[in-house]
Structures are given as structure tokens and as C-alpha cells.
Amino acid sequence: MSIRRLAVISALTLAVFGLSASAASAGEPQQIRTHGGHAVFDDLGELLVVNDRRADGLSVMANLTWNNQTVTVTDSGPAGGGTTRNLSIREGTTVWLIMCYEVGGVTVKCSRSQRGVA
């Protein structure tokens, strides 16, 4: 196989694979799941979702932080099916997700912070 032919095949391969990745795929979703609930950051819709899965007197809170901004969403029981907040975060922005348990508005226990990208 000639060098020219190999160069053409390589260029075509790079073009095909390079064009198949969309710009929207740059984000990284993040989630924290426990037996008591879960918190999810969806990078495609910039959604923050929290769901309390147990009727145990604890509420589940999701906290998302980026560029000195913080949004907190709380869900207080499994009957409601969760709480969602639609956010507007610039694509490519690093976000930090934390999930906590609360009793009467007082934080009891929190997860470690997990990194995502909008």
C-alpha cells in the first residue's frame, strides 16, 4: 500500500470519527445514590433532580454549586416522586453535586462532593 493511499485512508477515518462526536457530548452528568434517596445532575438539560425514597422522617437535599452560585433542591418523601429544578448553566462549566439528609431543615449527613460538567 502506498504512503499516499494510507494518508488518504487515515484522513478519511479521522474525518468520519471526528464528525461523529457532537459538541453537546462535552458535559458529564453526575449522580449520588443511596438507599434513602438520590441526587442527579443531568448535563443535557441542566436539570437538578432529588428524590427521597424512604418514609423515614428524613428529607433528601441536593446542592449544586458552580462559579460561586449554589442551587438547593429538597424532597420530603417518597409519595411525591421527586423534585426537579431546571437550571441555565453555560456549557462546559464545572459543577459540584452534594446530597444531604435533613430533619426539620437541619442537615444531618452529607455525601462527598462529586464533580460534573454542564
DSSP states along 55-110: -SS-EEEEEEEETTEEEEEEE--GGG--EEEE----TT-EEEEEEEEEETTEEEEE
Which pLDDT score is estimated for 81?
80
Residue 63 in contact with residue 97, Cβ under 8 Å?
A: yes
Which pLDDT score is estimated for 18?
42
pLDDT digits (tens, 9 = 90+) for 3-34: 444 343 444 343 333 433 444 557 999 999 99
Which pLDDT score is estimated for 25?
54
State which residues of the chain have pLDDT below 50: 3-23
Residue 19 domain flag: no
Q: What is the pTM of this model?
A: 0.76
Residue 79 domain flag: yes
Domain extent, residue 101, equals 26-117
Domain with 54 in it: what CATH number? 2.60.40.10
